[in-house]
Structure 1
Amino acid sequence: MNNKNNKIPFEEDNYTHNIQRNNERMLDRRGFMKTLVGAAGLFAVSSLPWGAVAAKELMGLADKEYPRMKIADVSDIAVGDSVKFTFPSEHDDALLIRLGENKYVAYQNACTHLRCPVFWVKEEGEMICPCHHGKFDVHTGAPTAGPPRRPLPEIQVKVEKGAIYAVRVKRYEA
């Protein structure tokens, strides 16, 4: 019988030959902690620009100007009626409501709870989110019932030469 395959691969009689080798890097607790702190510092420094952008956005210092957009002609909307439109982009649904002869309000119509669409119910004089029975005050956009806790983002409108224009999205203020 040939004992070649059953032979210990090294001259030593145990497999601890690689525990203390010269020219190998040793990572003890102190070295591990230095590496960990260094990596955390690197991640912190690399995220500073994004943190500054987020802070600026949250503090309302980055008021964005959008090109004004025509919503409708004044003659096309009766008092008490509403018109759907998109502003500031084609993916942002909004709702314009004519409350009086010269009074218009507009809001982004995504509920501040779970982004369900909000509808104007003329007979009840309320804006309603049917998903969880949320209701919003038509004059302020503030929630009056249901789970929403934040007001709807208001869109400032301007009337010029018989037309209604969306001008800007008003920032949410806590």
Structure 2
Amino acid sequence: MTGRNNDVSKKDDNYTHNINKNNERTLDRRGFMKTLAGSAGVFAVASLPWGAIAAKELMGLSDKEYPHHKIADVGNVAVGDSVEFHFPSEHDSAVLIRLEKDKYVAYQNACTHLRCPVYWVKEEQEMVCPCHHGVFDVNNGAPTAGPPRRPLPEIVVEVNDGAIYAVRVKRYEA
């Protein structure tokens, strides 16, 4: 079994003969980086269709109209009052405010800071987010106080046959 100089044949050495076998897979740094780059490439190619759909949707927001949604009858909303409604989907909360006899504004009422609900305070003539004391200008939805930095998304409204309809959401422009 042992020869000169304490040589041990490989078939009898149970400690080292199985360290490197032929056809054994090894993963060094170069192989790891190739695998990582290949996986990232596959992920990027697989996500391209979804990115294209999202880009197409975002680029077309300014022209996108939704089915007109009746908010209320003109006679049911007094000057200075507000009406809550959902637009463009049942999950998107919004508020309509009648500022003057023939002037209506509507906004999605989720604060642009952390999506807390925004309320119309008639006495103050402003829209308020109670979570972090955000205040929005009722005429254009722009923030005037608090942490919000972006205006509320405006909803375009039309009056037809004595009823107020939500038509589309205006695209945010920086």
- Both structures adopt the same fold (TM-score exceeding 0.5): yes
Runs of 5+ unmatched residues, structure 1: 1-9
Query: In 1, distance between residues paired with 2:28 and 2:78?
Result: 77
Shift of 1:35: 1.7
Q: Is 2:53 the counterpart of 1:22? A: no
Query: In 1, distance between residues paired with 2:151 and 2:140?
Result: 8
Give secondary structure in 1 for the equivalent of 2:83: strand
Percent identity among equivalent residues?
78
The correspondence of residues 86-97 of structure 1 with structure 2, limited to 5 A, is 86-97=86-97
The correspondence of residues 1-174 of structure 1 with structure 2, limited to 5 A, is 11-58=11-58, 60-62=59-61, 63-174=63-174
Q: What do residues 11-60 of structure 1 show as CA deviations (whole Å, max 9, x unaligned)?
A: 533412222212323333332222222112111211222222333344x3
Give secondary structure in 1 for the equivalent of 2:100: coil
More moved, 45-54 vs 88-97:
45-54
Runs of 5+ unmatched residues, structure 2: 1-9
Query: In 1, distance between residues paired with 2:133 and 2:30?
Result: 57
2:85–2:93 CA contact under 8 A, matched in 1: yes
Moved beyond 4 Å, runs of 4+? none
Query: In 2, distance between residues paired with 1:108 and 1:33?
Result: 47
Shift of 1:97: 0.4
Give secondary structure in 1 for the equivalent of 2:46: helix
Give secondary structure in 2 for the equivalent of 1:99: strand
Give secondary structure in 2 for the equivalent of 1:149: coil
Aligned residue pair count: 164
The residue type paired with residue 88 of structure 1 is P
The residue type paired with residue 49 of structure 2 is P
The residue type paired with residue 148 of structure 2 is P
Query: In 2, distance between residues paired with 1:144 and 1:81?
Result: 21
